[in-house]
Structure formats: C-alpha cells, structure tokens
Structure 1
Amino acid sequence: MIAEELQILIDNKTKPLGSLGLLEDLALQIGQVFETTHPQLLNPHLVVFAADHGIALEGVSAFPQEVTRQMVLNFLNGGAAINVFCRQHDIHLQVVDAGVNYDFEAGLPLGDGKIAKGTASFLNGPAMTAAQTELCLLKGEAVVAEIAAKGCNVIGFGEMGIGNTSSAAVLMSQLCELPITDCIGRGTGLNDEQLLRKQIILEQAIVNYTGTNNVFELMAHFGGFELVEMTGAMLAAGKRNMLVLVDGFIATAAYLCAYRIDQTIKSKAVFCHESEEKGHGLLLTHLNAKPLLGLHLRLGEGTGCALAYPLLKSAVNFLNEMASFESAAITNKS
C-alpha cells in the first residue's frame, strides 16, 4: 500500500522518528492523495468567491454591503493581502463573482459565477431557492474543472462577502447541533453592542426556521452564494484527487457542508490555520482537524491558505530530497 511505502520513507529519513511533527503527517497525506512516493505540487491556484448577503442589511456586520464589491475591485487591482501572498508564493489567484450586488464592467479578469445580486435575508425566509443552491454547486464545480484542466493539483479557497460569518455561524450551529452563542464571533470587528445585536438576529432566524437538518435545505436557507459555490468547488476538487486547502471560519463552514455531502473529501483536505473568529476552533475540534498555523488571522480571502502553502512545499521537499540513514551512511538507532 502507498501509505505503508510513504511511512517507511518518512521514518527512514535522517532524523529521529516523528521529529518533523505535522510536516510528516502532511507529507504522508500529500503522497496518499497523489498516490505516489514522489509527489509534486503543480500549478497551485487559489479561488476567492465573492457575494453579498441579505442578512447584512439586518445590521450583523460592522461594514456596509458595498465593501464586498469594493474589495473585489481591490483583488482585481492586486492590492489586497491575498494578492500580496499569492504573488510571494507564485500561486495563481482567480476571483469569482458568485453574487455581488453590483454590475461589474465587461472585460475584467473576473470569473462569472453570478447567481443573483446577493441573497435574500434569512431572518424571515430562505436566503436562496433550492434551484439557486444547486446552481451554486454546479458553478463551483465548473470553476474547478477549468482550473484542473490547466494541470493544477493543489487548490485553496477563500471568500469575500459582508455578512458571511453570520451564514457560517448558523450553518455550524445547525449542522453540529451547537448553541448559536458558541458559533458567533465579531466578524469584521463588531463591538459588544453590535455583537449582541448579531446574536439576537441569528437566534431569531433559527427560531423562524421550520425546515429539516438536511444539509442542502440548510445551505439554501442560511447559506451565501459564495459559501455554497465554495462547497461545490471543494467537492469537485476532492473528486479529482486534488489537494484541498481550507482557509478560515467561512471556508471551514463550506467544508463542513461538503463533508456532510461526501465524507471522502476529508482525506484530501488540509486545514491551513485556526482563525481568531470565535467558532472556528470549536468547528475544527468538531471535525477532528489539525490546523497547520495559529496566527490569530481573521481576514478571510484565502490568506491562511497562501501563508500555509510553503509548509506543503517543505513537506514535499523533505520527502523527495532528504537523505535516508542508508543513503547518507548514518547509523540509525538500534
């Protein structure tokens, strides 16, 4: 079996057993995903899905809705944190309009995944229709299919959407059967009064929900276009045996939905960091996931994926290039 071959290679490198910690786990995982003892990371991509949320109009965010489209333009102009980190690590960045409340001019290097100009508020009804939910999943799959055709085997996902921590928190609460108070964080930087308002609104939204605990129904009622497209993209990447890099709280909520649909995605997923958002650590624990980094990030955009990517390269490089005790003529422990 490939896992046994990889483990033997890792254990016989010129180091004490397990001394490279999570890098050893990462090397083992990458080799298994690619089904080779000499894995290569090819044409890395990062996709940022952007969309607006009707729930943002209920006052759950510290920033107004127009910031979503302003940040999309910032991505396209190369001025955001994710642009900086992708340039630094030679990662191709693709921005997708999944449902921003704005008409972008033609000719921009912007992927077209637009479902509508933002979701409806889920306070008193569903954020989207079942048909829109299905279309989101298909759009996310199409994005990955196009990228995979370019020879990419490692892909990260980020998001931009004012109000999307509210969607993520409610989905986490419902799917993990946790109190919403355990899942709500300050998002874009809410003060205590704003945080209390967010909690009250989301609690009421949950009370108003009369549907089932089915993941597709929950995504339709509480999700965002960017979050559900990301779910579809993760599923598609997993089916293609690509390495799936999971960013922060919203991306992990999208992964949670993907995992409920197809649990085989777990072997392909790398959890890049634990964010500062309150619910993220609890969600990672629920998923039994080990994040690579703990940098107190709370930005989104896929920044954690880009920052963790060099660790993936280090894991692959030590597996491929580090000497064994035998090749280096070094005595192993008895």
Structure 2
Amino acid sequence: MIGSKRRSRSTTNVWPGYVDALSALLMLVIFMLLVYVVSQLYLSQTLSDRNFELARLNERLNEISQLLGLEQSKNEALAQQMTETQDRSEELQQRLEVTRNQLMQQTATAEAQSERLANLSDEVSEKDELSASQQSMIMRLSNQIASLQAQLSQITAALKLQKEMTAEKEGELENVSRRLNTLLAERVNQLEQYQSEFFSRLRDILAANENIRVVGDRFLLPSELLFASGSAQLGQDGKRELDKLAQVLLDVVDSIPDDIDWILRIDGHTDLIPINTPQFPSNWELSTARAVAVVRYLAEQGVPERRMVAAGFGEFFPVASGTSPDALQKNRRIELKLTDR
C-alpha cells in the first residue's frame, strides 16, 4: 500500500502542456500564413497598378511620337515647297529685272531718237514743210515709245506683286522654321531628361568605386580598371563595371522614343608616354582599340550597336597637367557620354 501510494504521487500527466504548446505554435503558423497571403495580395495589386500605368504611359508616348513624326513630315514637305517657290520666285524676279532693264534701254534709245526728231521737226517747221516719210517716222517712233512705256509699267507692277508674294512666302517660311526649331528644342529637352536619368542612376551604381570620376556630363573610368598596361583586352574587374553600365543603359534605352537620335560615346585616352609595339604603333591605336573593346563588350550585353560610337584621342586631350604618376594615371581613361548624333 505504501509503495502504490508513492507511485501514484510520483506519476504526473504532461499531455496538457504539450497540447497547449502545439496549439500556440499552430496559431502562430496560421497567423504568419495570413500575414504572408495579405502581403502577397497587396504586392500583386500594387504591381498590377504599376504595370497598368506604365503601359498607359508607353501608349501615350507612342501616340505623341507618331503625332510629332507626322507633324515633322508635314513641316519638311512645306519647307521643301517653300524653298522651291522661293527659287522660282527669285528666278522670275531676275528675268523681270532683265526685261525691265532691256525695256528701259529701249525706251531711252527711243526717247533719244524722239529728241533728235523733235529737233529735226523744229528745223523743218522753221521751213514750214515736212515730208510724208518724216511724219510717218515720227508717228512710228511715238507709238513705239508709248508701247515701251506701257510694257515698262506692266513690268513694274509685276515686280511689285512678285516682291509682295516673296515677302509673304518668306513670312510663311519663317513660321515653319520657328515651328521646326520648337520641335527640335523639345527633342533636345527630352534627350536631356534621359541623359539626366542615365547620369543619376549610373552615378548611384558606380559611386562605390572611388576610382571612377565624374566630370561635367561624362563618366571617367581609369584604364587600369578595365585593361592591363599596354593592352586592349578587358579584365574581369572591368567587365563587372561594364555590366553595371550596360544594365543601366538598357533600362534607360527602353524608355527613349525611337525618333530621338541618341548615341553613347566611348572615348579612349592615354597619357603622354608614347607606345611603339607591333600591335600598337602609337597611342592613337591603343586608345582606339580600348574604346572599340568597350563598345564590343557592351554590344554583347545587348546595347544596340547603331547607338554607340568609339573614338581614340591618344594623349592629346589630357584632364590633368604634368608628368607626375597621379597626373599620368588620371589621363589614362575611358570616357562615357550619352548625347545626340
């Protein structure tokens, strides 16, 4: 009896504790699942709204681009028509001027003859007799003078009308030129906006690399970051930096309308120390080959080839003066600039 009482006192029931713990854990899991589902629904709705807005904005940009392209085509046709009209007007005006000068010469000749005939008439009148042939000559010359004067009046009126028409056409052409300049300015402003976006995003991404410098609207990458000394072969570190550049550029390219004629300039520069190897006889060849290597790599990453240009400037456009190691290092660089063609 004593042993059984001890066994009953020492035996405890632990199942209620386990059940409570499992219930609490299950409620926690259910709560986390609810939070996850709600957050996914909210995120899906947000992404859907953003995609809808982006699609609407892209559609609007396409409509604006088409309208601008149509307007530009009309303006170009009108400008061509104005040019042709102005050319014809100038030609006609020249011909009228020549005709007018000829008529003035003929009128002057006729008037001179009329003065001589008047003198002759006076002389003859003094004798109180004129021959029939002389009277006929006087009448014929008088008629010629009157006809020439009438033609001269018509030519003068035609010249005046032509000048008025030319002035009107010049006014229309000036209006067309102003409209074209306005459209061009709008395109330049749009390109500047995309330049600013590209510049800002690229600066944020490449800011961690203290060797990359920003000068005005250009990014300056040191050659040592991309190439080994005297080489135009891209290294792994350089490829990683160019991958960042390509990603930013592709994101910006997707939002630039097709009718904006933009390019990415890649300029190669060297220091003033000359190079003379079988592969690179001068700094021109080295700087050009490095710029071309960057262009080829960006093209492999998907950047449109027709939107890039490579140029080599050798040692002729330094950004630092002197021959110190720091100045030489700054002048060995690759410059990147988003601009118009």
TM-score by length of 1: 0.27
Greater helix share, structure number: 2
Report 1 or 2 for greater relative contact order, CA contacts < 8 Å, sequence distance ≥ 6: 1
